[in-house]
Amino acid sequence: MAVQFVAESTLKLLLAVPVYGADLRILFIGNSLTYSNDLPSMVRRIGELDGRRIETAMVAAPKPISIIVPWAAGGATDQVTRVAAAELEEALGAKIVKMEAVEHDELLAWTSHSPHAVSTALALALSEAGIVHRQLGRGGRDVTRLAASSPDVWTSILLDNAAAVEASLVAVERQVKGFRSLLSARDRDGIRARLSKARDWSGPGSGG
């Protein structure tokens, strides 16, 4: 696999660099390739095979770049942002999306913050059930991957956007409750319909 080869080649260079202590700290700056293939996790796993503990962070843009405007539309800042966005699109060759701060916070609650909370909740439930991480299949590892992030960083993130995250989690809880009801009723058609709807949303051609 090309991405695997790139990660291994990059890591060989990094492991050859003298560092103080046993750890490496690597910041990945990339694009959708870096993001969608989760190169930081790949490099961490390769490092483990070499007996090295590697801490990673990532700055990558899998989607259009957003400019956050903390004031209402129509003001001077809004007008300047529109001009700047057009110039940045031309200079960077990337789609620039302008949004107000409240809209941004609500979007991130859905797309980043509540997924992290759900991942954490599942990790805690697995721990309470006596299941260790090495027992997880690919699906379990994928869903709980976010739970391995820094508690200090994510405590601040969740609290800073608490109202929007709470609202999104209410919707998640409603979906989980609905799934439980279908399971209790052994409603095969209902379960399949729900799985199909989720598959259609997340699959190829969904517009994501």
Domain-by-domain residue ranges, the chain?
1-62, 65-99, 100-208
Q: How far is CA 62 from the centre of its chain?
A: 10
Residue 148 · residue 133 · CB < 8 Å? no
* Cβ neighbour number for residue 147 with a 10 Å cutoff: 20
pLDDT digits (tens, 9 = 90+) for 87-126: 766 665 556 666 677 888 898 899 999 999 999 999 999 9
Residue appearing with tokens 């539309």: 73
pLDDT in tens, 28-83: 766 556 666 677 888 888 778 777 788 887 766 555 566 555 555 666 666 776 67
**Distance from the Cα of residue 197 to its chain's centroid:** 22
Closest among 122, 112, 123, 113 to 158, alpha carbons compared: 113
C-alpha–C-alpha distance, residues 87 and 150, integer Å: 36
Q: Which candidate, 11, 69, 59, 2, places its Cα nearest to that of 32?
A: 59
Tokens of 101: 């701060």
pLDDT in tens, 159-169: 999 999 999 99
143 pLDDT more than 70: yes
pLDDT for 90: 66
Percent of the chain at pLDDT > 90 equals 42
Please state, in angstroms and as integers, the Cα–Cα distance from residue 190 to each residue in 5, 175, 195, following that order: 44, 13, 9
- Looking at residue 6, its pLDDT comes to 44
Q: Exposed e or buried b for every residue in 187-199, given b needs 16+ CB within 10 A?
A: eeeeeeeeeeeee
In 3-state terms, what secondary structure has residue 142? helix
The Cα 122–Cα 52 span in angstroms is: 28
The amino acid at residue 140 is: G
At residue 19, does pLDDT exceed 60? no
Question: In whole angstroms, what is the distance from residue 68 CA to residue 66 CA?
Answer: 6
In terms of pTM, does the model score above 0.95? no
CATH topology of domain 100-208: 6-phosphogluconate dehydrogenase C-terminal fold (1.10.3660)
